[in-house]
Amino acid sequence: MSSNQPLIFDALRTPRGMGRAASEKKTGGSLAEHRPHQLVVQLIDALKRRHTGLPEHLNSLTLGCVGQIGDQGGHLALVSRLASGLADQVTVKTLNNYCVSGLTAVNDAAKSVLAGDPGLHLAGGVESLSSVAFLGDRASYYCDPLLAKQLRWAPPVMGAELIATLQGYSKAELDNISLQSHLKAQSAWDKGYYDASVVAITHDSGTVALARDELIRGNLNIDKLASMAPAFSQQGAAGFDAMMLAEYPQLDAIDHVHSIANCPGMADGAALVVVGDRASGARAALNPKARILAMAETAGDPILQLTAGLDAVDEVLRKTHLSIKDFDRIEFMEAFAAPTLKFLQDYQPDIDKVNVNGGHIAMGHPMGASGAILLTTLVHELHRCDGSLGLVVTQAAGGIGCAMIIERL
């Protein structure tokens, strides 16, 4: 093994809270009163308790975050470092690569290791949709329909609807994959499968604010899902259907089949992964949990959007000469139901090895953190099931994809 082989020494995440601020009519999510950097600080504190040698040997902190305004503005990684008491010499970076940001942050840390940078690296992401709403930064192309058309930008759900139309998916198929996400997540939590990877978030008083993913509906059934109507036809009629049909002239119309329940819920959460080389880990008295075998960042069709993750899968498989059947566990980002169905249809993985403990549709999508959350789940699940190889796949708006292969140690 190369002395610069990037290794994962630990990975932790917060529970995912409902991404909703309190109002006069509705209560907020259980993490809504926690500022985003406070979620990161509690993860750093947990890692310090588990690994007392970590702070002395820490080189960098890299955080993904999408909505970088308000409580997530400024420089969130810097704010988190200052609030955590980490040394001033720990370098910081905050990045936005949309919903793959958390995995991109880990990729950047792994590249630092490969380049021979000394020390250990904390990498992951955070998002509080209670603090900063989806599209809350009001980028020009979010708000200007003419510019959106010129730049070929559409809301991510439009990409999911386009995939469903091209593939001919029915709402019943979307409902089934959504139901399985909730049932698996409920079962995994009840069996304690998340106990090793999730850190309960506390208030300043020490009382627990949230210890378990908040959005799971373990009592959901297929009849309830069937009763929920598709929700995005009006959005399509606002000009996005015309944009998609212009790009895909073989289609006569866009079939709007996703209901709200076929989408990942807005969530608050964070995740951190400890990455470094073997020598740096040994100096901090850390034992590696996994090694990173391959990683890929991809870009593709900004209209179809949510297939770039599949391109990333192809790239890491090419690099390693592995096949989809070689993986003991796969964490695939449930960025709506249709992309998940397409992955299962195109690659034909063993369904009993994909998102075995539930997915984003059930547990929610704290955007900048999601890639790191999936990687955290994968690391711990490989140890729990005594597996060897794992694959994590993420995709984002605008045709952005990212994937990583790890091997349990």
Give the pLDDT confidence score for residue 125 in this predicted structure.
Answer: 98
Looking at residue 64, what DSSP letter applies?
A: E
Which residues of the chain register pLDDT less than 50? 1
State the Cα–Cα distance between residues 346 and 348, nearest whole angstrom. 6
Q: How far apart are CA 28 and CA 359, in angstroms?
A: 22
**CA dist list (Å): 371 to 99, 277, 331, 334, 374:** 7, 21, 10, 11, 5
- For residues 134 and 87, what is the distance between their CA atoms, to the nearest angstrom? 33
Q: Which amino acid is at 280?
A: S
Alpha-carbon distances of 92 from 4, 5, 95, 275, 328, rounded to whole Å: 21, 22, 10, 15, 34
Lookup result for tokens 């980028």: 139
In this structure, which amino acid lies at residue 374?
L
Q: How confident is the model at residue 118, as a pLDDT?
A: 85
d(CA 355, CA 181): 8
Question: What is the DSSP track for 80-138?
Answer: HHHHHT--TTSEEEEE-BTBTHHHHHHHHHHHHHHTT--SEEEEEEEEETTTS-TTTT-
> Which of 199, 194, 215 has the alpha carbon at shortest distance from 129?
215
Confidence (pTM): 0.97
Q: Dump pLDDT digits (tens) for 191-244.
A: 999 999 999 999 999 999 999 999 999 999 999 999 999 999 999 999 999 999
Q: Is the dihedral of CA 25, 29, 31, 37 positive or negative?
A: negative
Q: Are 101 and 65 in contact (CB under 8 A)?
A: yes
Please report the pLDDT score of residue 24 as a whole number: 86
Q: What is the pLDDT of residues 107-142, one digit of tens each?
A: 999 999 999 998 999 999 999 999 999 999 999 999
What pLDDT sits at residue 2?
56
**Residue 66 DSSP code:** S
pLDDT at residue 4, as a whole number: 87
Nearest C-alpha neighbor of 58 from the set 28, 80, 33: 80
